[in-house]
Structure 1
Amino acid sequence: MLFAQNPGPVLRVDVPLDSIRLSDPFILADQKTATYYMTGTGGMMWKSRDLKKWTGPFKVAQTDPASWMGNNPMIWAAEIHPYQGKYYYFATFTNRAVKIDTVGKNIIERRACHILVGDKAEGPYVPMKDPTYLPASMPTLDGTLWVDTDGKPYMVYCYEWLQNENGTIEKIALKPDLSGSVGKGKLLFRASDSPWSRQTENGKTGPNKVTDGPYLFRTGSGRLGMIWTSWIDDVYTQGVAYSKTGSLDGPWVHEKAPITPPNFGHGMLFQTLSGKWLMSLHSHKSLGGRTVRIPHLFAVDLTGDQLVVGKPYKP
């Protein structure tokens, strides 16, 4: 099988984290190699030994041009998850040449969550057997991995608001080797369920439509939580919800207030190589007429019954 290969980017070394422009930063602290691997939107990878200086970007995702993705798909919100001896690359792929729907003024492009596999954290990551994980008629994004209380792996993802007009977060069961999905997706909650994500239109304030960037975690007490991102009017904002039952099926109860400062979102949690818990996320600001997204780290406390976000962390 032939895979799409584009010329690699210009390699940079010893780059401070705040000098990198990257949306949806996901950091894997790999004990095997004593290295941090950072991925995100754009499909590139950065590497670091200490979280201070980074080398990259490296191209690590190899896609099949004969698949629904086409020759050069857009790649959003890439994550790397070690699982049963291999590394899995969860990402959102968009083929802009294929239109699947039109809702109002929104033309919906072929976009879906998909999983690639690699033998090493640094890749390369290549396709597996199944061509799709979710229906072609649905725009889905920001898939992440969670092994639930039944011991089975699931993909948790967003069904995009552009089509359903009230974005959702859903789950779908995965095959034991993550090479495909099993059955149909199941609703976990809707954007409108949140008390903090709001928007004002025509002088009226109501629920926001957007669901973005789910990430699952357990607190020190064993409580299952999920951070996810939406908007308060034009401000990018992240909140948290907790499952009453401790499983993905919920029901999910949302905290009333956001948990991060304004214009920060799409976060994830990881432990440093020395065991300290941190949150990786990006700032989302408009500067000089263009949107700038910069990775950041925050200290977090998971020892109790809830996630507590602390101060910005400087390695």
Structure 2
Amino acid sequence: MALTEYPLKMHDFHLHDPFVLADADRKVYCLYNANYFDYRDVSHGWGRSVELYMSPDLVHFSRPRAVFDLENLSERVWFDDSDCPWAPEVHEYRGCYWMFVTLHSRRQPAIHPVDGPEWYRKRLIRDHRGVFVAVADNPAGPFAIMDPTLPVTPQDQMALDGTLAFDSDGSPWMIYAREWVQMFDGTIEALPLDRWNLAKAAGGSVRLWSASEGLWHKEEGDAPAGGWKSDFTGDTAVRKLAEGAPGFVTDGPFAERAPNGSLLCLWTSYSRGEYILAQAISRSGCVVGPWEQLPAIDHRDAGHAMIFRAFDGTMMLIMHTNMVRKDRSGVPLDSHGIIYEVAVTDDGFVLGRHREDLDGIADPNDDR
């Protein structure tokens, strides 16, 4: 390995919604991340791109290269360049590499929220989001959107953070977040995909759970046991959800099969104003559930996690830190990737040893 090809360490660069594809054929880890305007030149889409960092060992990383950007958009595409692509992830499937990525649009008419307290439904939403699928013949791209005229997710849904999951019969599904901005109580949804073309839906969406079902909400007193279930007119809702109350967030689902066939799913929300890494289980093994919420995994303002198998067989979890934390002067802290070993058990995910040797973070409670 020529270290000049891999001059970076993980803590040298920002990461937000990281995704790792362990390419066993090439013996290289492909780390995908949204640019978020870190690299503002033409080779990186002027900041609106998906970046790829490559590593032979998860310690040394290449400089980033853009594998997808929003340059030279035609008038016929649904999305625009009003924001950077969000939450890219890449999966190998049927000999191709499929990128699920959230794109934005201000080309669509403004809409009102479809759920939530009456005061919330009076708002106007001008920013639209949907999950698109791009494809390439190798993990380094370039990736091209299969159908730029419409998102794969339903047009009437404000959708983000799509991930690939497989049902108990092997059929592909997209699990994604329906954003709290539209729902007030955000949801996790699932959409069946065409077996031969992951950029094509094979049916309608199914709701899996709502953000307020997270087990911590009852203890914190901001939702009843089992969540709001769209009941925003009762006495409890009127008392707890006065005008200006924050919505309930669903972010970053990621599914993994347990040894006994149950389907596990990571997801992220907020607890006491900070990011929290949560999990759920479908003991039937089916994408459509029923789903049961499990105790949260991490409460340290880190989340949007995914799991991959390292080349030595170790199961690893990577997520980003510092979603909302600030330094003493009020400046937001940089978000970085943080890696743990993780056990995938029949009853859920169990976070293991923190890998400071890989992510360079000395104290997971205080990433500076």
- TM-score after normalising by structure 1: 0.88
After superposition, where does 1:211-222 map in structure 2 within 5 Å? 211-222=250-261
Of the three residues 113, 133, 157, the one matched with 2:131 is 113
Q: CA RMSD, aligned part only?
A: 2.6
Partner-residue secondary structure (3-state), 1:59: strand
Q: Which structure shows the bigger proportion of residues in helix conformation?
A: 2
Task: Classify 1:146/1:304 alpha carbon distance in 2 versus 1 (closer, same or farther; 3 Å).
Answer: closer
2:106, 2:126 within 8 Å by CA — same for their partners in 1? no
- The alpha-carbon deviation at position 303 of structure 1 amounts to 5.1
After superposition, where does 1:220-235 map in structure 2 within 5 Å? 220-235=259-274
After superposition, where does 1:45-84 map in structure 2 within 5 Å? 45-62=52-69, 65-66=73-74, 67-71=77-81, 73-84=83-94
1:101, 1:109 within 8 Å by CA — same for their partners in 2? no
**Is the counterpart of residue 271 in structure 1 residue 309 in structure 2?**
yes
- The alpha-carbon deviation at position 72 of structure 1 amounts to 6.3
State how far apart, in whole Å, the 1-side matches of 2:169 and 2:285 are: 11
**Is the counterpart of residue 19 in structure 1 residue 38 in structure 2?**
no
Provide runs of 4+ in structure 1 moved above 3 Å: 96-100, 102-106, 197-208
Stretch deviating more after TM superposition (245-254 or 207-216): 207-216
- The alpha-carbon deviation at position 78 of structure 1 amounts to 0.4
The number of residue pairs the alignment matches comes to 304
Q: Corresponding residue for 1:126?
A: 144
Task: Classify 1:57/1:130 alpha carbon distance in 2 versus 1 (closer, same or farther; 3 Å).
Answer: closer
Unaligned runs of 5+ in 1: 1-11
Q: Corresponding residue for 2:190?
A: 171
CA deviations over 1:9-37 (Å, ceiling 9, x no partner)? xxx95211122211011111101111111
**Is the counterpart of residue 191 in structure 1 residue 211 in structure 2?**
yes
Task: Classify 1:223/1:15 alpha carbon distance in 2 versus 1 (closer, same or farther; 3 Å).
Answer: same
**Is the counterpart of residue 95 in structure 1 residue 105 in structure 2?**
yes
CA deviations over 1:154-203 (Å, ceiling 9, x no partner)? 11111111111110101111112213112211111111222125575999
1:223, 1:306 within 8 Å by CA — same for their partners in 2? no
Partner-residue secondary structure (3-state), 1:40: strand
Residue identity in the other structure for 1:48: S
Stretch deviating more after TM superposition (133-142 or 209-218): 133-142
1:199, 1:207 within 8 Å by CA — same for their partners in 2? no
State how far apart, in whole Å, the 2-side matches of 1:302 and 1:186 are: 25
Task: Classify 1:231/1:96 alpha carbon distance in 2 versus 1 (closer, same or farther; 3 Å).
Answer: same
Unaligned runs of 5+ in 2: 36-49, 114-121, 224-237, 359-368
State how far apart, in whole Å, the 1-side matches of 2:318 and 2:293 are: 21
1:23, 1:40 within 8 Å by CA — same for their partners in 2? yes
State how far apart, in whole Å, the 1-side matches of 2:13 and 2:161 are: 21
**Is the counterpart of residue 143 in structure 1 residue 167 in structure 2?**
no
